Chains A and B, each alone.
Chain A
Amino acid sequence: MKGTNKWIMSALIAILVLALAGCGSDNSSSGSGGDGEVIKFASDATYAPMEYMDKDTIKGFDIDFIAAVAEEAGIKYEVVNTGWDTMLESVKQGTEYKAGLSSVSITDDRKQTYDFSVPYFESTNMIMVKEGSDIKSALDLKDKKVAVQTATTADELMSGIMGVGNTDLKRFDSNAVAMMELDNGGADAVVADIAIVREYIKNNPKMKLVGITDKENFGSEYYGILYPKGSDLKAKLDPAIKKIIENGKYEEIYKKWFGEAPDLTNLKNAQ
């Protein structure tokens, strides 16, 4: 009797494994095929107003930007919200997702593992504090409690100022949680991308928050599209990116999301 049970169990497990394997191959094959290949971009859509989920659709500056670029380059594409880790790993492999689009700042550490498009967005970090705080610049944060989102350039900059191992530098999974930490008194300041901080201050007027820029310690940084090493997509999309910045399409999208015209001098120089 025992022997029979074992056989049935093995058969069931085998069927389950085969079924799962079937699902897997189904997913990866969809989208490919012939000229009209759909290029899939992975994104971590938790970064309003750059990319975020509005119910079940992905929206944001980056999303409109890539729509304009794709139109210019004549490619079919799709942006999928995969989360940060999946984006990193799947773009590195480059089989299902050919690129990552998620406000990824171009840094030397990252270039060791990935290729980047030409810069398409100029950003800088901003300090967010409560009204009446004595913090005026990034160096004032040295002996304060600071909350950042893990894996952002804010994390990197503050690690440089405060030390990687400093536990007063608190790294959270998302900016939303970092901002809650500030609200609950666990942090004296949040450091994040300027667009994110401005959006948050605008949406939470009751919390009496102030944004502080520090051009000296927080230089300009540039977002790029993330490609696997040696991707041929870069050659296709880079001219299109430059084109939409030249022809005013980029400015239009920028105004839509930020309400003001961009100063493109630095961005063009960086390209």
Chain B
Amino acid sequence: MDFRFNIVGDYLPLFLRGTLYTIGFSIASIIIGSLLGLAIGFGRMAKNPVARWPFVAYINFLRGTPLYVQILMVHFGVVPFFYGSTNALISGVVALSLNSAAYSAEIFRAGIQSIDPGQREAALSLGMTGRQTMRFVILPQAIKRMVPAFGNEFIVLVKDSSLLALIAAPEIMYWGNTMKGQYMRIWEPYLTAAVIYFVLTYLLNKLLAYIERRM
């Protein structure tokens, strides 16, 4: 196979700039998505079925539709409605965060519900309030169990951010497409993008393994 390294070299600065955007999109969406997911996860565990319903619907909808469609809906529907015009950077963070929140919510719920009810009973019988029980007894144990699931979610999110090329957000895949357009060659851009994503997720994996060991 003839692989033209010189055109990869030409595009490397743009790929690196795209990598910064990908990292930015990922970090912002991981943070916002997790916070949102925590809130939705608690809503999902509400005792009252009526109060629970909107959260269940949110999770089902965001997990049951393709991210591809969600990005288009956010970019051409939600963001223009609130912001006045489309904006790929806002759309990117919003779409990824909303999507990630649905998965995070389920991770939080599963993690919290995996803690033996006896822990809660014991804490309550020691005179702790419900809130204190959650904060000092349940959550510290649950979070430890959630780490691998979260690691998985984060890695999926980094790779899924490549779908933002759809709305011309200038991340890694976008520059890959641009390069493909100029030279009408597909292996150079796609393999370069794949290598960069691999390095990113590999480093993230290492970081997560370190955190898991330390906990």
User: Which A residues have a C-beta under 8 Å from some C-beta of B?
Assistant: 85, 88-89, 109-110, 112-114, 147, 150-152, 155-156, 159, 164-165, 167, 170-173, 177, 180-181, 184-186
Contact = CB atoms under 8 A, between A and B. Distances in A.
B184 A114 contact: yes
Contacts of A156: 181-182
B10 to A, nearest CB: 9
B72 to A, nearest CB: 8
Nearest to B2: A113
A170 B88 CA distance: 10
Contacts of A89: 186-187
15 contacts: A88-B186, A109-B183, A113-B185, A150-B177, A150-B180, A152-B181, A172-B166, A173-B166, A177-B166, A181-B167, A181-B168, A184-B80, A184-B85, A185-B85, A186-B88
A140 B169 CA distance: 23
Q: B interface, how many residues as a size bin?
A: 20 to 34
B184 A109 contact: yes
Interface in B168-190: 168, 170, 174, 177-178, 180-187
Contacts of A181: 86, 167-168
A180 B86 CA distance: 10
A167 B89 CA distance: 11
Nearest to B174: A171
Nearest to B10: A164
B200 interface: no
A93 B123 CA distance: 68
A170 B185 contact: no
Interface of B is mostly: helix
Contact of A85 (B84, B86, B180, B183): B180
A180 to B, nearest CB: 6
Given A150-B180, A152-B181, A185-B84, 8 more contacts: A147-B168, A156-B181, A159-B182, A165-B14, A171-B174, A172-B167, A184-B76, A186-B85
Interface string B115-149: 00000000000000000000000000000000000
Contacts of A88: 180, 184-186
Instruction: From B86, B184, B187, name the one whose CB has the most chain A CB atoms within 10 angstroms.
Output: B184
A40 B180 CA distance: 23
A184 B168 CA distance: 14
Contacts of B174: 171
A109 B7 CA distance: 11
B170 A155 contact: no
A184 B177 CA distance: 23
B107 to A, nearest CB: 29
A180 B91 CA distance: 14
A3 B94 CA distance: 48
Contacts of B167: 172, 177, 181
B87 interface: yes
A173 B173 CA distance: 12
A224 B183 CA distance: 16
Contacts of A147: 168
B7 to A, nearest CB: 10
B179 to A, nearest CB: 9
A113 B80 contact: no
